[in-house]
């Protein structure tokens, strides 16, 4: 009798998981017209690239370039690794535009918990991050909706900067990779919640996500100036927000599928998320600043 109950219960959970996953996909596929465009993703990608162009131009001027050819040469010469002689120039430009600098944050420039998400050090840095954001963001934004995507992206980005602020106080930090890790974490939780709807219980999909996460974190052990604390902060906060806000459909008594995690139902939790992020920043500030 117990085995029959267990089997029925497992079958019921599998059916609910499949039903929720299929509903989420049908919602994803049913979006048409302008609503189909991932406005937040493309807005962030476009804005970030424009900001990088401005900072790259300022960096080139700071290194002595004045003509178009010299500016392009300066940017391309430092496309992958910044030359030692140019480190100070780049740091000065990035700090002027809002890079994470603990000393300045401790002086009251708290916007630096946000602005580093949209700054990048060089062409390779911005190129890889924006490519990853475009690939994952377009899909995930259509899956969860514009506002939930924006909440996850910005919140995990801020948490990643807070983690860097606390664990790497001496480093100047910029980049969207913490927020992108947050998106990966959120999607991983979505897959985990709907694992019974995936082939072989979602194990191949989850293993692939684990490989992506571990592989990217491993880069930080071999490539200099990679802030793995920021990556971990973004990843863990993304997992938490994914658990709270990625779509999870349930069947009501009148046989209607509703998304339990929609912002219209979880707006108090969204406000708590914003407040919690603010409190986390205050706590980090108190521990670092005394």
Tokens 């465009």 map to which residue?
Answer: 37
In the chain, the number of structural domains is 1
DSSP secondary structure letter of residue 38:
-
Q: Alpha-carbon distance 95 to 73, whole Å?
A: 23
Alpha carbons within 13 A on the beta-carbon side of 90: 22
pLDDT reported for residue 202: 78
Catalytic residues: 177, 231
**Are 181 and 216 a contacting pair, CB within 8 Å?**
yes
Range of the domain at 59: 2-289
pLDDT reported for residue 141: 93
Q: Which of 43, 85, 42 is nearest to 64 (CA)?
A: 85
Q: How distant is the alpha carbon of residue 228 from its chain centre?
A: 13
- In order along its 290 residues, the chain shows pLDDT tens digits of 445 444 445 546 677 777 776 776 676 666 655 667 899 999 999 999 999 999 988 888 888 877 777 777 777 766 655 544 457 888 899 999 999 999 999 999 999 999 999 999 888 899 999 999 999 999 999 889 999 999 999 999 999 999 999 999 988 999 999 999 999 999 999 998 888 777 787 788 889 889 989 988 888 777 777 889 999 999 999 999 999 999 888 877 777 778 888 898 999 999 999 999 999 999 999 988 65
Which tokens hold the place of 5? 């109950």
Which tokens hold the place of 8? 């029925």
- What is the H or E stretch that residue 217 is in? helix 203-222
Find the CATH number of the domain harbouring 33: 1.20.1540.10
pLDDT reported for residue 5: 40
């Amino acid at each position: 009798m117990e085995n029959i109950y267990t089997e029925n219960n497992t079958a019921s959970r599998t059916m609910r998981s499949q039903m929720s996953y299929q509903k989420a996909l049908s919602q994803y596929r049913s979006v048409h017209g302008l609503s189909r465009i991932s406005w937040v993703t493309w807005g962030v990608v476009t804005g970030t690239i424009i900001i990088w162009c401005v900072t790259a131009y300022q960096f080139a001027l700071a290194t002595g370039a004045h003509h178009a050819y010299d500016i392009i040469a300066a940017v391309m010469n430092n496309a992958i690794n910044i030359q030692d002689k140019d480190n100070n120039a780049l740091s000065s430009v990035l700090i002027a535009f809002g890079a994470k600098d603990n000393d300045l944050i401790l002086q009251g420039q708290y916007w630096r918990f946000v602005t580093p998400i949209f700054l990048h050090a060089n062409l390779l840095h911005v190129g890889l991050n924006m490519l990853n954001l475009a690939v994952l963001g377009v899909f995930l934004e259509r899956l969860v909706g514009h506002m939930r995507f924006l909440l996850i992206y910005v919140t995990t980005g801020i948490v990643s900067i807070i983690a860097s602020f606390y664990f790497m106080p001496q480093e100047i930090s910029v980049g969207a990779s913490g927020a992108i890790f947050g998106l990966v974490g959120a999607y991983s939780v979505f897959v985990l919640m709907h694992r019974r709807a995936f082939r072989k219980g979602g194990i191949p999909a989850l293993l692939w996500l684990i490989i992506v996460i571990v592989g990217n974190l491993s880069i930080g052990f071999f490539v200099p100036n990679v802030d793995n604390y920021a990556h971990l902060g973004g990843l863990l906060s993304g997992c938490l927000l994914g658990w709270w806000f990625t779509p999870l459909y349930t069947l009501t008594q009148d046989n209607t599928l509703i998304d339990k995690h929609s912002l219209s139902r979880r707006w108090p939790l969204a406000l708590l998320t914003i407040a919690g992020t603010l409190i986390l920043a205050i706590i980090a500030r108190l521990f670092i600043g005394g």
